[in-house]
Amino acid sequence: AKRSFAPNSMQDEEAFEVEEIVGKRGKGKRVEYEIKWLGYAETTWEPSAMLDQPLHTYKLAPGVAI
């Protein structure tokens, strides 16, 4: 399932769609997820608070555990 991402500063402008979560780093409250955006080759590291859906609803790359 594809979900969108809209940081507070961008809610009125543009929403980015998550293609899949391809990585995870950090521990505890400092965990970040590497996001592959639909239509973009680049990935970015984002805290889970920036995602608008529960983590288990996103497509995960093989080997990625949440």
CA distances from 1 to 10, 53, 54, 56 (A): 22, 11, 12, 10
CA distances from 30 to 44, 47, 62 (A): 15, 7, 22
**pLDDT, tens only, 9-33:** 444 456 789 999 999 999 988 999 9
Handedness of CA 46, 50, 56, 61 (dihedral sign): negative
Structure pTM? 0.75
Express as a percent the part of the chain with pLDDT over 90: 59
Give phi and psi for 32, each to the nearest 5. -125, 150
